[in-house]
């Protein structure tokens, strides 16, 4: 397998699911839509993606190679998916609190 593809396999496989979550985050709730919300949503999606990629590459290097290369992918995927969901969940919670004001 190509080294680039192998190192980014989790990102390639999770891209459709992340796209669905990003669209849902962007669309809901439909109202209210103050002027700051577009920039907040863009920043939140960028921060979530950055958290995913940084934690993916960290976890791939951190995983024990003694269990094989598949174990690296499992650890990398688990850690980075958790980082993405945590960042997006915090952004959702913060946006909800800001919209209630």
CB 60 within 8 A of CB 7: yes
pLDDT tens digit sequence for 59-91: 988 888 788 778 888 888 899 999 999 999 999
pLDDT at 6 over 90: no
Res 72: pLDDT: 84
pLDDT tens digit sequence for 10-19: 888 889 999 9
The residue among 59, 84, 87 whose CA lies nearest residue 74 is: 59
The residue among 41, 44, 49 whose CA lies nearest residue 18 is: 49
How many CA atoms does the CB half-sphere of 1 hold within 13 Å?
9
- What ranges do the domains of the chain cover? 3-100
pLDDT tens digit sequence for 20-53: 999 999 999 888 889 999 999 999 999 999 999 9
Res 48: pLDDT: 97
């Amino acid at each position: 397998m190509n080294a680039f593809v192998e190192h980014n396999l989790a990102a390639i496989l999770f891209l459709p699911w992340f796209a669905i979550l990003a669209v849902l985050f962007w669309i809901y709730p439909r109202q209210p839509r103050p002027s700051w919300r577009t920039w907040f949503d863009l920043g939140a999606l960028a921060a979530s993606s950055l958290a995913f990629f940084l934690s993916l590459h960290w976890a791939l290097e951190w995983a024990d190679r003694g269990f094989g290369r598949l174990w690296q992918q499992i650890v990398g995927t688990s850690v980075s998916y958790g980082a993405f969901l945590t960042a997006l969940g915090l952004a959702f919670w913060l946006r909800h609190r800001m919209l209630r004001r």
